[in-house]
Structure 1
Amino acid sequence: MKIAITGTPGVGKTTVCEALRDLGFDVVHLNKVAREMDAILEEDEQRQAKVVDLHALRRYVEEWEPESDPAFVESHYAHLMPTDLVIVLRLHPSELERRLKEKGYPPEKIAENLEAEFVGVCYGEAVEVRSEGCFIRPPEDVIQVNVTGLSRAEAADRVLEAVNHRRGDDVDWLSDEEAQRTVERYLKYR
């Protein structure tokens, strides 16, 4: 079974996947594959983002034959890949803000990512892709996992639990006042 691990930049996808790799699971980091395959089409200077060849990466994921079951495909666009299940990592916006600042993100990029996490862009896209029939999978195969306050190992365990039980967390930052205040501080950068 191939499982996408996706989420807003900074939520801990790579960290969680490294913990899963340490547990013996196969992991593909799509950003690394995109660089190795020369599948980066352009640099979006304004958004400080790379535009990748999704078709080439989809072919790669389709043809990939992992040894472990499950195996994981990681990126903030992994939910657009042909996988059997999608895990969307979610992180409280105040924690995401801290992480992005530590990574040296400029305020404009922090604002973009906080807003995306606040409204659940990756989750929404994953459910939409599934329900549009791009990949034939039921919407219940898109599972949110809240990793706020979890260690690397705890987050990996939580992902495996969600995979095994096909059940995740209900995440709604829109009704969280602290999350609202965090995002509002960055509105001037949007």
Structure 2
Amino acid sequence: MICITGIPGTGKTTICKMLNEYGIKCTELNKIAGEYGAIKGDTVDVDTLISQHINCDVIESHYSHLLDCQYVIILEDDENRLRERMVSRGYIQSKIDENIDAQRSGIVYYEAVDRLPRNHIFIIKEDSRGIDEVFKDVLNIVLLLHKKVN
């Protein structure tokens, strides 16, 4: 399973939709978590999801890297753009700051590296590029890894 992850606002869901349009099945993990009753308020029971042995080609969520992934793609973006996106989504300032600090500190990477070899983790930065350029990078990685996974 290839897991696409990153803090909120980095484009995970958009990339997942683009992969589906391209013909690569990508699943939003929150939908699966809801089906298994693993979401209670803002808390996700990752252990429940792990015990279900989720079998997807590509999955996306800000916590997908905590599952039994074979590869992880971490999306990152410019802090100012992330702040704007989170404000537009109604995030409170403390949650925005928490998410930005998570990207700055590389916590997603370090959580992934606790579970996988470093050469199974890819970081893609959007920065000044557009989502189409990020999609091309993700697609190239997914196509390469998809051959290895299957």
| TM-score scaled by length of structure 2 | 0.86
Contact 1:5/1:89 (8 A) holds in 2? yes
| TM-score scaled by length of structure 1 | 0.69
Contact 1:17/1:156 (8 A) holds in 2? no
**Separation in 2, partners of 1:83, 1:122:** 13
Q: Is 2:138 the partner of 1:152?
A: no
Q: Is 2:89 the partner of 1:89?
A: no
Structure with max Cα Rg: 1
Counterpart of 1:24 in structure 2 is 23
Tell me which amino acid in the other structure corresponds to 2:34. R
Q: Is 2:121 the partner of 1:142?
A: yes
**Separation in 2, partners of 1:144, 1:77:** 15
Greater length-normalized contact order (CA 8 Å, ≥ 6 residues apart): 2
Report the CA distance between 1:163 and its aligned residue: 4.0
Contact 1:5/1:78 (8 A) holds in 2? yes
Tell me which amino acid in the other structure corresponds to 2:95. K
Counterpart of 1:184 in structure 2 is none
Counterpart of 1:102 in structure 2 is 88
Aligned residues: 145
**Separation in 2, partners of 1:151, 1:79:** 24
Counterpart of 2:148 in structure 1 is none
User: Unpaired segments of 5 or more residues in structure 1?
Assistant: 44-49, 131-137, 167-190
Tell me which amino acid in the other structure corresponds to 2:101. E
**Separation in 2, partners of 1:54, 1:111:** 23
Report the CA distance between 1:7 and its aligned residue: 0.5
**Separation in 1, partners of 2:89, 2:44:** 22
Report the CA distance between 1:86 and its aligned residue: 0.4
Q: CA offsets, 1:92-142, max 9 Å, x none? A: 211111111111211111111111111111112111232xxxxxxx22101
Tell me which amino acid in the other structure corresponds to 2:61. S
Counterpart of 2:97 in structure 1 is 111
Q: Is 2:13 the partner of 1:14?
A: yes
Tell me which amino acid in the other structure corresponds to 1:28. T
